[in-house]
Amino acid sequence: MTSQYFVDANRTDDYTQDGNILTPYKTLSAAYAAAKIGAAMLNPKYINLLSSITENLTMDTGYVGLQGFTNSGVRAPLYLNGTITIAPTAGTITDNFFGITNLAIQKPEVTSGNCIDVLGGAVPLRVFLESVWLQNGSPGSFGVNINNTGASSVVNGQLNQFSPFATGGGIQVINGICNMVDSDSTGGSASCDSMFAAASGGKLNFARCQLEGNATHMIKCSGGDYGTSGYNITLGQTLLTNNRSTGHGITLSAGSLASIGTCGLNIQTGSGAKAINGVASANLATFPYSLVLFDSVTFVNAAGIIARNTTVTTNKAAYSVMS
């Protein structure tokens, strides 16, 4: 099979490794080195992981996909213990397509770093993540970390699971765009600062997601210059729950721009907890039927009146308040 390469880290016998399913490579790096030769839009290559593995992998050539080869339609993928770094060094956006599917990526609490780093400087890229389970736990780490300034660069994800533990978070977008659809997170982070974060050069979009965490900020927007050309944060048909008693739902810094439509924000009763924690010159656009659930009301008071000076654009009855 000229386009398929197999990897089995459990093989300990001696044989000539050529990537065939009967004679697979024993490391991802060996398989990737072979697969990327000649890989292109009209000649895509695929690496199939046959067993869980402990290894870091750098992907610098487009059209080489990575997948857990479980032949299973359920979300019980094989594990990669390590970091995948996606960092093309040249080419246009049509040269740099990357895909990962049906795989769990774990970075233990004692190991620093992110599960997936999307880098590459200003080289444009597109990354597709489907049915990927991301688990990390070191301070300030994220399941997916994105810092790419290439024109039109984007990370698209579907059916992904973010399960950070200890102090890990889900997604951080420093520069670039990230779209997540039909994905979810769990709230095991006892001391997480931000479950999801977008800096001034980042854009983070969720649609049909269920986001849960135990964080100071479930979603934190820490910059505002990207807002001049688009939203920093958008949520559509998404339920956001913060299990920390004093944690906020969405925190907006000065100049940031957010849009929330047909969503639910479920915030706990602790002192100072806000469903939307805005400041002066932060901008929030809300659309019909967004439901804010909380007990300790500060951003919107018990009568449903906006109490902070964050600029809010509403359409019809944007807020419902439950105490």
Number of H helices, E strands in the chain: 1, 28
> In this model, does residue 92 exceed pLDDT 60?
yes
Over range 129-135, report the average pLDDT: 94
- Give yes or no for a contact between 164 and 137, defined as CB atoms under 8 angstroms apart: yes
Q: What is the pLDDT of residue 307?
A: 36
How many CB atoms sit inside 10 A of residue 56's CB?
13
Q: Which of 154, 7, 145, 127 is nearest to 67 (CA)?
A: 7
In 3D space, the residue among 135, 116, 113, 136 whose CA is nearest the CA of residue 66 turns out to be 116
Identify the residue whose tokens are 């049509």: 94
Choose among 67, 57, 3: nearest CA to 32: 57
State percent of the chain over pLDDT 70. Answer: 79
Instruction: Pick 112 or 26 by higher pLDDT.
Output: 26
User: Which spans in the chain are helix H?
Assistant: 28-35
Q: Which is nearest to 173 in space by CA: 127, 241, 232?
A: 232
pLDDT at 278 over 60: yes
pLDDT-derived band at 167, boundaries 50, 70, 90: confident
Lowest mean pLDDT among 105-109, 141-145, 170-174: 105-109
Query: Is the per-residue pLDDT at 223 higher than 90?
Result: no
CB 194 within 8 A of CB 166: no
Does position 313 have pLDDT exceeding 60, yes or no?
no
| Residues found in the chain | 323
Closest CA to 157 of 82, 226, 207: 207
The yes-or-no verdict on residue 288 having pLDDT over 60 is no
> What is d(CA 186, CA 156) in angstroms, rounded to the nearest whole number?
20
Predicted confidence (pLDDT) at residue 191 exceeds the cutoff of 90: no
Residue 275 confidence class, pLDDT cut points 50, 70, 90: confident
Confidence band of 232 (pLDDT split at 50, 70, 90): confident
Give the pLDDT band (50/70/90) at residue 293: very low
pLDDT tier at 173, thresholds 50, 70, 90: very high
- Please tell me which of 83-87, 192-196, 301-305 the model is most confident about, judged by mean pLDDT: 83-87
- The SS3 of residue 30 is helix
User: What's the mean per-residue pLDDT of the chain?
Assistant: 83
pLDDT at site 311: 44
Q: What is the DSSP letter of 159?
A: S
Nearest to 36 by CA among 102, 116, 95: 95
The pLDDT score that the predictor gives to residue 73 is 54
pLDDT band at 91 (very low <50, low <70, confident <90, very high): very high
Query: pLDDT value at position 190?
Result: 63
Cα separation of 66 and 131, whole Å? 12
Residue 51 has pLDDT above 90, yes or no: yes
Amino acid symbol at 14: D
Tell me which residue of 118, 109, 112, 50 sits closest to 84, measured CA to CA: 118
Could you give the C-alpha distances from 280 to 74, 225, 293, 323, in angstroms and in order? 46, 15, 23, 26
